Amino acid sequence: MINCKESTRLTIKKEENKITLRERIELSFHLMMCKFCSAFNVQNSWINGVSKHAEAHDSFSESEKQDLEVRMKDSTK
């Protein structure tokens, strides 16, 4: 069983697609049991998605900015 620190490391490594099958399984088991690491995993995925969108489009429209602001506020509740 991995600890939360290792889970954080694997979550970040997973976003870079450099995670082994064993690490993926260990991470999945840990995320099923730890609500804090599970929340970090969701937030990290969301942030990476937003940053990839920003890289692809150079900037956000006003409606996209407002949508992101609302979603960020909702995710911190």
**Helical H segments across 3-77, by residue range:** 4-15, 21-33, 35-57, 62-75
Model confidence over 44-76: pLDDT tens digits?
Answer: 998 888 887 776 666 777 888 788 888 877 776
Q: Cα separation of 35 and 18, whole Å?
A: 24
Question: What pTM was computed for the model?
Answer: 0.69
pLDDT at residue 76, as a whole number: 63
